[in-house]
Structure 1
């Protein structure tokens, strides 16, 4: 017997809410389990292990985010340049360096780079 509503009988709002709440709770539980499994798999992959199934191979995809500390940027490039890029937007700062308005080498030295890893499942049937 299914918990899905009977398409022949219109459901009451309370029944719809009950089904909605059950689905939401199920999804939240599955998301929490998925997150925990992902942490465990990432840890194993970082430790040099490999993981795959008949359909998927797990790999770690590294993303980098670059930003520039506001005060140091201001010390190095001054108020006018700091105001020009406002929130020290990476693209704007690099565009100024590309145009020769900022010293590109100093900008690279100033950069904070944060890496994040995402667990990616690559399909094996391509």
Structure 2
């Protein structure tokens, strides 16, 4: 259990600098853990794709193919122009779809240029399921 924030009966109230320090520490810890999780996931997926098996007392692991829409930058720019490409930046799917919902992009033309990418996702299934 976290000892942050301090108990109400604690004498000192943390300063804004203390709060910022704690925030930065948590952010850095989370980023570090996310990076480690991603690296471990890649190693496990590679092993599973080679036919190895992995499980713990609680979980079985598997690799499943998932599909994800992406919009190729050059094609997006050709269809919608430089300004829209710049607005959507990396052509983030959610941003592009938000622009279409807002009426700034033609939704039908956006669907026409969409590419479906398959990615391999590591899946943990509880053994009780």
Work out the CA distance in 2 between the residues paired with 1:41 and 1:65: 21
Q: CA deviation at 1:6?
A: 2.2
1:121 correspondence with 2:124: yes
* 1:1-126 map, 5 Å: 4-7=4-7, 8=10, 9-65=12-68, 85-89=108-112, 114-126=117-129
Work out the CA distance in 1 between the residues paired with 2:58 and 2:32: 24
Q: State the superposition RMSD in angstroms.
A: 3.0
Q: CA deviation at 1:63?
A: 1.4
Gaps of 5+ in 1: 71-82, 91-110
Work out the CA distance in 2 between the residues paired with 1:59 and 1:42: 8
Change over 3 Å in CA distance of 1:6–1:84 after alignment to 2: closer
Work out the CA distance in 1 between the residues paired with 2:13 and 2:53: 50
Q: CA deviation at 1:125?
A: 1.8
Work out the CA distance in 1 between the residues paired with 2:69 and 2:4: 47
